[in-house]
Structure 1
Amino acid sequence: VCGEGSVTETVQRFIWDHCLSKADGKSHAPYVRNFLKKLITEVELNHGVVLDELYEQYAYYMTSLKDDNLVKGNARVCKFISFLFPDGCSELPSCPNSRKLVVPLQCSLNMLKGDTGCSVWPSSLFLSEFILSFPELVSNKSCFEVGSGVGLVGICLAHVKASKVILSDGDLSTLMNMKRNLEYNNLNIGTAGPGRVTDGLNMVKCIHLPWESASESGLQDLRPDVILGADVIYDPVCLPHLVRLLSILLTQRKSYSHKQNDSRQGSLSDSISVGDKVNHINRWNANEKDDRLDGKVNGAKQANTNASGDGFDACGGKTIWDGTTCGARKGPLAYIAFVIRNVDTFNQFLYLVDQANITITDLTETLKPINLLPYMQSYDRSNISI
């Protein structure tokens, strides 16, 4: 059987019929699982269609080896994240009638055994609170998340009725766990290569996207209005690929609009969050933020804040931020939630962003989300920025 250099469906069928379906599952399970992972990765990287049998067999090996995972400390458990809306939030579009949004998630017990993509990170919780606190920033917009992990942010995006939700991750096992979490939360799942995203009612799309292999042509059909990421600024080796990916996503809709003879004027620089260029990146470190990153949105008037600066009145009611400032900006935006664990790594990110002509603003104090997780004592919001 010849696939002319590609792992076509015919080639996959041959491999399945003559190799995988006859493999001794017990004695060769780890090897078959690794082979399946590489095979599926190769097909998806070339935007091919993976046989259902291959996905099902891979899922089987992932679950059947759970005893070994327990021994290695990689056990998965189901957690329930309950976002509790305080009194006064009933008019907030994201607030359920019960004032409680419960999100079941399958996640890892161990973050130190190569299973980080299946863990719930503080920045993901913070970005989820941000989305639920300011739903107008993403509702009725096409949203794309890089490094989606367990899928919590995507579930919140779907809850606030983003017009399109596309989640991505570079690890296949993380992607499969993410899809399972979407199913737990009664969301329809669409799976496609980066360049083959299809529409569907109430559908969340999941794509396999290693940052290092992302290409402009492969992402040409996405054109998101909003890009999101939580705790993606951690590995200096990955930062050039991340910034390149962000640059592609931030310029797509703008380039598309120009091709449609849009007569926009103004700066062509891209934007992470919203606002002013960081001119002296070394001033923003773990202990000191650049005073000039004050939340201005292209010179527009800031939303007034109360004494606490969180954009909410004393009873927790949403009174100030209406999203008009962000909504008036032309072109896509990216919201990145992060913890500065290493100053040099973060400064490298800022340098790469500056070189890519991407503007950046610290919104941490300007747009403080509601504390929707008051019971979560281990969740420290104080060291998270956006």
Structure 2
Amino acid sequence: MAVVSDTKTPNLRCLKAAFLAMEPSNCLISLARRTSGGSLTEEVQNFILELCVNSVYVLRREENRILKKISFFLPSGIDDRSSQRNLVVSLYCSLNLLEGDTGCALWPSCLFLSEFILSYPKLFSDKVCFEVGSGVGLVGVALAHVGASKVILTDGDGSTLENMKCNLELNHLRSGKVQSRYLPWEFAAESELLKYEHDCVLGADIIYDPKCVPHLIEVLRMLLKSKRTFILPEEKEASVAYLATVIRNKETFNYFLRAAEEAHLSVMDITQDWQPLNLLPYMLSYDRTSVCLYRIS
């Protein structure tokens, strides 16, 4: 995890960040034109050649991995780390989702949830946070940045988990504070989940397969039974979950809502009330309006 200072104009900074994040070519061209007032001036072309192209490099840990750098533009005063303006996260991501490597991709809900965490750091600072279906690990990096006391990242796919571990190492987060765990939802045990005494549960784009919904609901039910004990035994606070998702299939999502109600879980849409800051202004391929945020208790 690297923090860099802002030394360029906002438009040039956005253009470089887009290159490092491997944004699609049409998005890069649009940003370049915006930077130079509509045409690709010589100044912008030189900037692309001298700074962007020289800074972009591809590393393959396997045949289907590419290195992306996601830059969050943090405004001053967003947290106690106000002097650290840009948070840059290095991530190995999948090149070929057609092979079923969806867990190693950067999905809109993952970006949205990370922006939410960075926009409201006090919700997660000094908290034990447990993520279900952690994918590339971006949410975990955001949680570590805002000062979560402990972060447990889980996934039920072996290759995704190995990729996530590699990403944690890239960002210098393989320690007792940030842990990765193998968690197939259908085999999750309540005794194993509750031992973490977590304060909050997080998930991004995990409501997508109707076959998995019953297992996901059971995992959430068990996780939300946890109550963290503070200084005095009577000081206890119930766990809460924040789930970000794109509703691609209405029937699947309605099935999730019915199953949650049957499990006595309260699902509240907080998308409008808790809008995150736009910390990824250069990422034109990211449609944050498609993402909904839910609070589950």
2:72–2:88 Cα contact (<8 Å) kept: yes
Aligned to 2:227: 253
Find the partner of 1:142 among 109, 125, 128.
128
- Counterparts of 1:260-299 in structure 2 under 5 Å? 262=234
Q: What is the alpha-carbon distance in structure 2 between the residues aligned to residue 384 and residue 211 of structure 1? A: 23
1:223 to 197, 218, 223: 197
Cα deviation per residue 1:266-289 (whole Å; 9 max; x = unaligned)? xxxxxxxxxxxxxxxxxxxxxxxx
The one-letter code sitting in structure 1 at the alignment partner of 2:222 is I
Partner of 2:286: 379
**Offset of residue 125 of structure 1:** 0.2
Cα–Cα, structure 1 residues 111 and 94, in superposed 2: closer, same or farther, change >3 Å?
Answer: farther
8 A contact 2:168–2:174 mirrored in 1: yes
- Distance in 1 between residues matched to 2:181 and 2:235, nearest whole Å: 33
Q: Percent identity?
A: 54
Distance 1:261 1:371, change over 3 A: closer
Report the equivalent of 1:29: none
Equivalent in 248, 254, 279 of residue 347 of structure 1: 254
**Post-superposition offset of 1:173:** 1.0
Could you tell me which amino acid in structure 2 is paired with residue 360 of structure 1? V
Q: CA deviation at 1:218?
A: 2.3
The letter of the residue matching 1:186 is H
* TM-score normalised according to structure 2 size: 0.74
Determine helix, strand or coil for the equivalent of 1:246. Answer: helix
Q: How far off its partner does 1:112 sit?
A: 2.3
The alignment covers a number of residue pairs equal to 233
Shift of 1:95: 5.2
From 308, 327, 332, the counterpart of 2:239: 332
Amino acid at match of 2:243: I
Aligned-pair distance for 1:96? Answer: 4.9
Q: Does the CA-based 8 Å contact 1:364-1:385 persist in structure 2? A: yes
Cα deviation for residue 215 of structure 1 reads 1.2
Deviation at 1:209, TM superposition (A): 0.2
Report which of the two structures shows the higher radius of gyration computed on alpha carbons. 1
**2 CA distance for matches of 1:96 and 1:263?**
32
1:354 deviates by: 0.3
TM-fit CA distance, 1:97: 2.2
Structure 2: distance between partners of 1:175 and 1:115: 12
Q: 1:217 aligns to what SS in structure 2?
A: helix
| Contact residue 94 and residue 133 of structure 1 kept, 8 A | no
What pairs with 1:206-217 in structure 2 (closer than 5 Å)?
206-217=180-191
Larger proportion of strand: 2
How far apart are 1:94 and its partner, in Å?
6.4
Shift of 1:262: 3.4
> Residue 340 and residue 95 in structure 1: after superposition, are their counterparts in 2 closer, same or farther (change >3 A)?
farther
Q: What's the offset of the Cα at 1:98?
A: 4.5
How far is the alpha carbon of 1:174 from its aligned partner? 0.7
Identify unmatched segments of 5+ residues in structure 1. 1-61, 70-74, 190-199, 265-329
Structure 1 residue aligned with 2:72? 83
1:145 shift after superposition? 0.1
Matching residue of 2:106: 120
Deviations 1:298-346 (A, max 9, x none): xxxxxxxxxxxxxxxxxxxxxxxxxxxxxxxx41110000000001000
Q: Structure 2: give runs of 5+ residues left out of the alignment.
A: 1-59
Instruction: Provide the aligned C-alpha RMSD in A.
Output: 1.9
Change (3 A) 1:248 1:109: same
CA distance in 2 between partners of 1:240 and 1:101 (Å): 37
Secondary structure at the residue paired with 2:92?
strand
Q: Which amino acid aligns with 2:251?
A: D
CA contact (8 A) 2:65 2:94 kept: yes
Does the aligned pair in 2 maintain the 1:94–1:135 contact within 8 Å?
no
Note if contact 2:93-2:106 (Cα within 8 Å) is conserved in structure 1.
yes
Question: Given the alignment of the two structures, is residue 177 of structure 1 paired with residue 159 of structure 2, yes or no?
Answer: no
Tell me which amino acid in the other structure corresponds to 1:120: L
Deviation at 1:115, TM superposition (A): 0.5
For residue 180 of structure 2, give the secondary structure of its aligned residue in structure 1. strand
Deviation at 1:252, TM superposition (A): 1.9
Q: Give the distance between the partners of 1:111 and 1:94, measured in 2 at CA.
A: 38
Partner deviation per Cα, 1:199-240 (whole Å, 9 max, x = no partner) = x3xx21110000000011222311210000000000000010
Deviation beyond 4 Å, 4+ runs, structure 1: none
TM-score by length of 1: 0.58
Give the whole-Å Cα distance in 1 for the aligned partners of 2:120 and 2:191: 32
Match of 2:208 among 230, 234, 256: 234
The CA deviation string for residues 74-113 of structure 1, in whole angstroms up to 9 with x for no partner, is x10000000112xxx3111165524211000001012221
In structure 2, the residue matched to 1:188 is: 174
